[in-house]
Structure 1
Amino acid sequence: MDFGWLKRMMPRGLYGRAALILLVPIVTLQIVVSGQILQRYFRDVAAQMTTALVLDLALVRDQIASGGPAEDTALALQITIAPAAEGLTADRRLVYDLTGIEAIRVLRRDLPDLVAVDLMTDERFPVVALRAGDEIVALSVPRRRMSASNPHQLLVLMVFFGLFMTWVAYIFLRNQLKPIRRLALASEAFGKGQVVEYHPSGATEVRSAGRAFLDMRGRIEAMLEQRTLMLSGVSHDLRTPLTRMKLGLSILDQDADVAALLRDVEEMEALLATFLDFARGEALDDPVLTDPVTLADQIVADAKRIGGQISLTAPDLSEPVLLRPQAVRRCLSNLVSNALRYGVHARLTVVLADRAIRFTVEDDGPGIPPERRAEALKPFARLDAARNQDKGSGVGLGLAIARDIAQRHGGSLSLRDSADLGGLRVDLVLPR
């Protein structure tokens, strides 16, 4: 049996699910207990009491019909005899008078001469109209002789204390869920490259999870720092001999072989700079309020200064958003550089939404086949068949650096076809 519809209806948040777990047993208990109370008070007790009252009403009715001492008998039985009220020809009761339903049913069943029952005019002393001989008399009896007095009070108390205990349980439950929420926020912030202060608290299991998170965060930070230091050290150590080689080649006679060696040295320096950029991907600058349109305009201006054919599409009115400007600039610069390397014309588009900001870089180059886009995002991936490597040297770190920066912001980087330019389209989406 498919219960997918039930799963879709369930709350997705922890508070909602915990509240559901709390309320379902309480509501079920209320329904079961209420059903038993209704069965006892509204049917059994009311039926028994009304059955006993029928005997007294029948006795008074018979004495009135026979001319006996009906007044004395009625007084002894707490029954008041009065002329039948005008217009009392049908049973009357209040809508919420549930015990009155059972009382009227028993009176109708056991008193064949019953004309009508009025439970509405005076709730404390209802009137029973009976035919006694040739006349109709009204017998007023205390309501407590028909059914249990105020049975609704028990229901009111049950509902009140049920709601009160639900509120108390919710307060305790909220205090238990706070540490879980704090752990989730700390984990989410760390996923966005932010380190927020967090101290384990709450139940033993939550404290254990919190300590495990802190240990994991510490190990990840140490690993990233070691990787950055290692690559930075390697890059620095290799720059010195490369510089000596470059100086040595520059003083030699400039022939074809020396020129080729110089180009190799320059390419090695460029590769080392790229490695260093990739290693510094985790070392993001602090987030500050930044105008994304101004940032995009500066990147486009830098690309145009080196001869790139690129255009900018952005809203006229912009508002500052919380970004890491240096990291975003590095990411977009890599994307724009790739677009101009493999295409003739590129376009940068900025879209501001309520909860996110999207930078889109498109080109008119050969693009990347859909089946190889996941591979293109991996470090050191070089798709020679898809992207013409003759147009520039590289080690396949441009998209990897951009994706790494996007993930450190808590955003995403996706590749698709450009509908307008026909090449590759890269969407960088960052949360606001």
Structure 2
Amino acid sequence: MFFAWLKQYMPRSLYGRAALILLLPVVSLQLIVSVAFIQRHFATVTEQLTSAVVLELAYLDEAVSQAEAPQTTLRALGRAFDVGVRFVPADTVPEADAYSWFDLTARRVMSELHAGLDGLAAVALPDDRRVVLWLETGAGVVEARLRRDRLSAPNPHQLLVIIVVLGAFLSLISFLFLRNQLRPIYRLGQAAEAFGKGRHLPYKPAGANEVRAAGAAFLDMRARIERHIEQRTLMLSGVSHDLRTPLTRLKLGLSMLDSDEREPLERDVEEMKQMIDAFLEFSRGAAEGEAERVEPRQIVAQIVEDFARMGVNVELGVVEETGPVRLRGAAVRRAIENLIRNAVRYGNRAVVSITTTERSLCVSVEDDGPGIPEEHRADALRPFTRLDPGRNQNRGAGVGLGLAIAADVARAHGGSLRLGESEALGGLRADLWLGR
């Protein structure tokens, strides 16, 4: 439970996590060693120095209490012990000890003084240079002023400063080496992301052996996928091209028949031609053209205008400003056209909208048709799948490739095609998500 709560505050990037792995143990070790060293070293030095001063002040207390001339004895011992001493009224003694909160050895000094001097009334450590204490003797209250370096090691904070500065410098050097090790991984990620969006980013394996092996595997995979796409395109294009010749001969032969016999056969030939065109379109997929900076708003507006000129009831909905986006314009246009054709085939009205996020672009096509049940939406995206029993066909039949082509284009741009229910029109809502 604790780790689940902590996980949300962990860095998301590889750089951040690597830096945390590097810095957290180093900083923790430095702090632990520093605190332990200061506690052990400075505490021991402080105890030894304070013990020597306690012996001197204890002797001064005893001598002044038994002397016939306390003032003279006090002055003599003060000069001998290099301590500034004088008698002060009892009402000038502070009620409590005083010290700065950032003084690392103040508490140890006061503890040793109180433990060694029974008549010690109060101690003040105003800074790291002076110590003032009030000692009750048999002759009166004595105020003693000493140099701080006689009681504790000077400037204990310097060790912490040195450790922090040195740790930061070494961490910077480590981060530079770490960045050089992570840069090949970052470049591999960029190349994989670009390939997922249909772009070919130059990449050369570099870095450690493991990273080089992953980079070489990525290049092999990318080459195999590109060969597969090319072979599929050539195969389907060849088949589609070869079928056009006998279809042309059939149309010529049918033109010589009587109209009553010719019309049903011509409809069959025309349907076969539409199927071949759909196969050819599917074979091209998203491989047509190179990705370039285009304006999605202009593409969608032009598509809607073209359909409107053909008498199709299509209108433009909410369109957000997106700015130029790197896309394969021809492939995206074909995908949107297929979604609109699918919408008006099963409905009477279609609305096209554009929404954006920080990393993606969404083109939505809604219709007022019967929609697709949720349990059949995954099947609708498969090639050559037709859900005719579940949807009334108002305007001709298809071959089951319209949504598959759109989904293929979306995947080639690092996105997906999602089917849902239109809240505004009550029919199908097709969201074409494209990576930006």
Provide the residue aligned with 2:157 in structure 1.
152
Partner of 1:94: 100
- Alpha-carbon separation, structure 2, partners of 1:224 and 1:114: 92
Within the alignment, does 1:177 sit opposite 2:165 as a pair? no
Q: Please state if 1:190 is matched with 2:195.
A: yes
Cα distance in 1 for partners of 2:273, 2:386 equals: 19
Q: Is contact 1:224–1:282 with CA below 8 Å preserved after alignment?
A: no
Contact 1:416/1:425 (8 A) holds in 2? yes
Match of 2:354 in 1: 350
Query: Which stretch has the larger CA shift, 137-146 or 348-357?
Result: 348-357
1:133 aligns with 2:138: yes
Change (3 A) 1:168 1:316: closer
Q: Aligned equivalents of 2:321 and 2:2: distance in 1?
A: 50
The 8 Å contact of residues 41 and 99 in structure 1, kept in 2 or not, is answered as no
Give 1:305's aligned residue: 309
SS at match of 2:155: coil
- Please state whether the residue corresponding to 1:360 is helix, strand or coil: strand
1:159-187 CA-to-partner distances (Å, cap 9, x unmatched) read 11111111111111111111110100000
The answer (yes or no) to whether the contact 2:293–2:324 under 8 Å persists in 1 is yes
- Following superposition, the deviation at residue 112 of structure 1 comes to 1.5
Q: Quick one: structure 1 residues 345 and 124, their matched pair in 2 at CA, closer, same or farther if it must change by over 3 Å?
A: closer
**Aligned pairs (5 A) from 1:11-410:** 11-67=11-67, 71-84=75-88, 87-89=92-94, 90-120=96-126, 123-256=128-261, 258-315=262-319, 319-389=323-393, 391-410=395-414
Q: Are 2:320 and 2:354, in contact at CA under 8 Å, matched by a contact in 1?
A: no
Q: Aligned AA for 2:115?
A: R
Q: Distance in 1 between matches of 2:144 and 2:313?
A: 104
Q: How far is the alpha carbon of 1:283 from its aligned partner?
A: 1.4
In the TM superposition, what is the alpha-carbon distance from 1:320 to its structure 2 partner? 4.1
| TM-score (normalised: structure 1) | 0.92
SS at match of 2:99: coil
Deviation at residue 362 of structure 1 after TM alignment: 1.1
Q: Which moved more, 1:225-234 or 1:313-322?
A: 313-322
- After superposition, the C-alpha distances for 1:14-38 in whole angstroms (9 at most, x for unaligned) are 1111111112211220232133123
Cα distance, 1:316–1:185 mapped onto 2, change above 3 Å: closer
Distance 1:371 1:317, change over 3 A: closer
1:353 to partner: Cα distance: 4.8
Against the structure 1 CA distance between its residues 183 and 38, is the aligned structure 2 distance closer, same or farther, given a 3 Å change threshold?
Answer: same
Aligned length: 430
| Residues 190 and 234 of structure 1: CA distance in aligned 2, closer, same or farther (over 3 Å) | same
Aligned counterparts of 1:279 and 1:302: Cα–Cα separation in 2: 24
Structure 1, gaps ≥5 residues long:
none
Matched letter for residue 103 of structure 1: V
Give, in angstroms, the shift of residue 259 of structure 1: 2.6
CA distance in 2, matches of 1:344, 1:389: 11
Structure 2: stretches of 5+ with no match in the other structure = none
Is the deviation greater in 172-181 or in 150-159?
A: 150-159
RMSD of aligned C-alpha atoms? Answer: 2.3
Partner Cα distance (2:374, 2:112) in 1? 80
1:59 Cα deviation after fit:
0.7
Tell me by how many angstroms 1:385 deviates.
1.9
Please give the alpha-carbon distance, in whole angstroms, between the structure 1 residues aligned to 2:128 and 2:345. Answer: 92
The TM-score with structure 2 as length reference comes to: 0.91
Shift of 1:262: 2.0
Rounded to whole Å, the distance in 2 between the matches of 1:350 and 1:28 is 51
Deviates more, 1:74-83 or 1:371-380: 74-83
Taking every aligned residue pair, what percent have the same amino acid on both sides?
A: 51
Using the TM superposition, give the Cα deviation of residue 268 of structure 1 relative to its aligned residue in structure 2, in angstroms: 1.3
**1:375-414 per-position Cα deviation (integer Å, ceiling 9, x unaligned):** 1011111112222346422221000000111111122211
- Deviation larger for 244-253 or 208-217: 244-253
Counterpart of 2:100 in 1: which secondary structure? Answer: coil
Q: Is the contact between residue 56 and residue 77 of structure 1 (CA under 8 Å) also seen in structure 2?
A: yes
Task: For 1:110, give the aligned amino acid.
Answer: G
Q: Distance in 2 between matches of 1:399 and 1:314?
A: 22
